[in-house]
Structure 1
Amino acid sequence: MKNFVLLLALFTSITLFAQTEKVAETPQIAIKIPFGETAIVEGYKITFIEVIEDSRCPEGVNCVWAGRVHIKISYLNNKGAETFQEIIIGQVKGDEQNNSIITINPTLQFEVLNVTPYPQYNENKKSLPYALLLKKILPNE
């Protein structure tokens, strides 16, 4: 009986302690845009239109450098003005670093998190079901 009371007291104290902890950050949700498709965010239509280059080193292969993925997107505002932007994630020898921020206007920016899937050894990249993962940049970031 003493063991039961001790176990109950321990469980209660752990439960009460766990409920007082606060989450440090609000989790953010990534926006997934499959190749050739459009997502509408705050009145803007963002379209993943082209994979210009995917030279990322495939998994299971030893490469001299990691490579990069170079894509093209477009965004269309509610007035019909279309803008094109090229995004580079990663780098090849001698090239610029990442260019992975999309600035639609001063208050609406996105960070490109990833282009999926990551290439595999002996895989035909032309047939991959590419998708773009974006995260909205909050004003205080």
Structure 2
Amino acid sequence: MTARRHAILVALASLTSACAAAPAVDGPVGIGHTAVVGGPHVRHDRVIEDSRCPVGVTCVWGGRVVLQATVSGGSWSKPMDLILNVPVDVADGKLTLVSVTPARKKGETARTTPSRFAFKFEGGL
């Protein structure tokens, strides 16, 4: 095995292990990362829709954001679609996608903008 090939394999292995070991965090998270939301954990899997009105543009409708996420807690896990500012029943409370940053700019899409997502959970014991 050449030194270059070995270096590439070591780099790929470290990237893979770093992704798998990424801890859940409280704050806004990007795609593939997990947020701790007062009990449940929310992993943002992908953006289904981001039709928010771009900054500096006048729109008739403000648009919406829909995420596909995996929500888990304890021994359960389930896929859910989360819509910006629309609470959904989860376990013994309500889970809400409360923000998407940065604001959308004209000409940008969900694929070209590395967005971050924040959630809140109300209820529980």
Q: Which string of whole-angstrom CA distances, capped at 9 and with x for unpartnered residues, describes residues 70-103 of structure 1?
A: 1111112332x321111223xxxxxxxx5x2243
Distance in 1 separating the partners of 2:100 and 2:42: 15
- Residue 83 (structure 2) aligned to one of 79, 88, 106: 88
- Residue 130 (structure 1) aligned to one of 86, 106, 115: 115
Per-residue deviation, 1:125? 3.1
2:46 aligned residue: 50
Distance 1:78 1:123, change over 3 A: same
CA contact (8 A) 1:74 1:84 kept: yes
Distance in 1 separating the partners of 2:63 and 2:38: 33
Q: Say which is worse superposed, 112-121 or 34-43, in terms of deviation.
A: 34-43
Query: Match for 2:83: what amino acid?
Result: I
Query: Match for 1:47: what amino acid?
Result: R
> Does residue 59 of structure 2 align to residue 63 of structure 1?
yes
CA contact (8 A) 2:37 2:119 kept: no
2:99 aligned residue: 114
How many residue pairs match? The answer is: 99
Distance in 2 separating the partners of 1:135 and 1:42: 7
Where structure 1 has 5 or more consecutive residues not aligned to the other structure, the ranges are 1-29, 90-97
> Does residue 56 of structure 2 align to residue 78 of structure 1?
no
Tell me the TM-score normalised to structure 2 length.
0.65
| Aligned residues: CA RMSD | 2.4
- Residue 33 (structure 1) aligned to one of 21, 29, 37: 29
Per-residue deviation, 1:42? 5.8
Distance 1:62 1:42, change over 3 A: closer
Distance in 2 separating the partners of 1:129 and 1:59: 16
Tell me the TM-score normalised to structure 1 length.
0.58
Q: Percent identity?
A: 29
Where structure 2 has 5 or more consecutive residues not aligned to the other structure, the ranges are 1-25
CA contact (8 A) 1:34 1:132 kept: yes
Query: Match for 1:82: what amino acid?
Result: S
Per-residue deviation, 1:123? 2.4
Distance in 2 separating the partners of 1:124 and 1:33: 18
